[in-house]
Amino acid sequence: MYNELNQQLQEYEREFDNDKEATLIKIVDLYEKIIGTDYHDIADSIYLWVYENANEQILDYIISKENSGYDDMIKMLKDRLGHIN
């Protein structure tokens, strides 16, 4: 499973410049598959992609997933995007 998820992330990284927002949504969705695993390198890569590239729409998308596994990512994005709460 690790290799498949890692290959999927690499594919998304290659297609990122073609459609940034759609690809970032795919990357966020991939994160959901690794929540609770020990694939920390993939999780860290995804976290960095989101940190560097997410906007308000991506934040709203993550919040709409209503998955507590995203709580740290949501907090990080709110801080980065200048949300008060």
* Location of structure tokens 């990284």: 13
pLDDT exceeds 80 at position 80: yes
Summarize pLDDT for 37-75 with one digit per residue, the tens. 999 999 999 999 999 999 999 999 999 999 999 999 999
pTM above 0.85, yes or no: yes
Domain boundaries, the chain: 2-80
pLDDT of 83 reads 87
CB-based contacts of 67: which residues, under 8 Å, 6+ apart?
32, 35
